[in-house]
Amino acid sequence: MTTYTELLRDPRWQRKRLEVMERDNFSCVECGGADRTLNVHHLYYAKGRKPWEYETGSLQTLCEPCHRRITALGAEVHQTIGMLCAADQALVLGYARALMWLDGRWDGDSLPCGTREELVGVFHAFGLETACRSGAGLLLEIAENIQPTSVLSPAVLDRLVATGQAQLTTLTSAEPGRP
């Protein structure tokens, strides 16, 4: 059986690794450092995949200190989320997907959202905590139609952004000392 270390010596991984480092200008995407030893980090692992079988977008160049820190953080996140009940895991999943969509890192126009808990997580990411607590308007409208295969379309996502911005404007204008 081939070890992971042996797989990292494979020419296919070496080519992929060089491609990622070139894309990242031979510098750490976290701290910008280029004067330290660099590693190519997998953002996630899928069982059975070889190191070079990942999309380039799921790989990033990190210096050794950042790589150690991010790897440790990832292990802690994985362990902590693993201890949550299924409903809370779905909430975290919805939140994480929405953050990726807001940052432009989500592949695709729509977000999968197959449970009410995922939807609540999406609402939290859009800053709509009040709507989550009160069960108001848009949340109820979307939640009534949630199916295991549901997705939030670009139009719905745009409404969430607009609603979140309006809610933030309302909250900040109501604060004392704000015009």
- Which residue shows structure tokens 């975290």? 92
Contact (CB, 8 A) for 139 and 119: yes
Q: Is the pLDDT of residue 33 over 60?
A: yes
> What sign for the dihedral angle of Cα 145, 147, 153, 168?
positive
Residue 60 has pLDDT above 90, yes or no: yes
Q: How much of the chain exceeds pLDDT 70, in percent? A: 78
Determine the average pLDDT of the residues in 149-175: 62
> How do residues 132-142 score in pLDDT, each as one tens digit?
555 555 555 66
Rounded Cα–Cα distance for residues 21 and 26 (Å): 5
Rounded to whole angstroms, how far apart are CA atoms 63 and 21? 11
Give residue-wise pLDDT tens across range 73-112.
999 999 999 999 998 998 899 889 888 888 887 777 777 7
The terminus-to-terminus CA distance of the chain in angstroms comes to 68
- Contact between 146 and 121 (Cβ < 8 Å): no
Q: Is 151 helix (H, G, I), strand (E, B) or coil?
A: strand
Return d(Cα 22, Cα 169) in angstroms, integer.
Answer: 42
Distance CA 170, CA 164 (A): 10
Picking from 62-66, 118-122, 133-137, which range would have the lowest pLDDT averaged per residue? 133-137
Task: Please tell me the distance from the alpha carbon of residue 80 to that of residue 65, in angstroms, as a whole number.
Answer: 23
User: Does residue 178 have a pLDDT over 50?
Assistant: no
Q: How confident is the model at residue 179 (pLDDT cuts 50, 70, 90)?
A: very low
63-80: average pLDDT: 96
Instruction: Tell me how far apart the alpha carbons of residues 69 and 52 are, in angstroms, rounded to a whole number.
Output: 23
Instruction: Name the residue with tokens 């729509």.
Output: 110
Q: Which residue has the higher pLDDT, 13 or 126?
A: 13
Question: Which pLDDT belongs to residue 118?
Answer: 83
Mean pLDDT estimate for the chain: 82
